[in-house]
């Protein structure tokens, strides 16, 4: 689908929130400024979170006590997720991971790819699949 504004990206996140469950893992693939965090902001809004949502670029992991709980991670500044403890959230939270090419290990995940497309973004949501290495997803 083509998403042509920040508001539309938030609305897409709100739609995703309706079926969210603990154990969902979404790998957010896209260049800087593609709208990955904006999508997560929409998901959190759809879950009733009214606070400020920013990219966890520097603290790497941010959690939200919504229902279901959400873990948002941004791996842009690391070479590997090994040792960060992301697996601690895998079963208890809906997890959104930006820059998944830095993930260590094997995961079952839905992949959300956000690409710049003309004046908007082309958003592709692939169904759950087994992902290992993530070389195909690297930007």
What pLDDT digit, counting tens, does each position of 88-118 carry? 998 899 999 998 888 876 666 677 777 767 6
Q: 71 and 89 in contact (C-beta within 8 Å)?
A: yes
What DSSP element (H or E) covers 38? helix 36-46
Between the CA atoms of 7, 117, 47 and 57, what dihedral angle is there, to the nearest 10 degrees?
Answer: -100
Res 30: pLDDT: 85
User: Is this prediction's pTM over 0.75?
Assistant: yes
Report the interhelical angle of 6-17 vs 36-46 (nearest 10°): 50
Check: CB of residue 90 under 8 Å from CB of residue 23: yes
Kindly report, residue by residue over 61-80, the tens digit of the pLDDT. 999 999 999 999 999 988 88
């Amino acid at each position: 689908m083509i998403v042509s504004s920040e508001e539309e990206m938030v609305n897409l996140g709100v739609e995703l929130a309706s079926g969210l469950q603990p154990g969902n893992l979404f790998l957010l693939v896209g260049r800087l400024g593609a709208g990955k965090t904006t999508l997560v902001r929409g998901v959190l809004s759809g879950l009733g979170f009214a606070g400020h949502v920013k990219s966890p670029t520097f603290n790497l992991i941010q959690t939200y006590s919504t229902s279901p709980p959400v873990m948002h991670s941004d791996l842009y500044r690391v070479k590997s997720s090994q040792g960060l403890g992301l697996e601690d959230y895998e079963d208890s939270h809906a997890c959104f991971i930006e820059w998944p090419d830095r993930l260590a290990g094997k995961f079952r995940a839905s992949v959300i790819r956000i690409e710049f497309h003309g004046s908007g973004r082309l958003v592709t949501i692939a169904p759950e699949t087994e992902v290992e290495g993530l070389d195909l997803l690297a930007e």
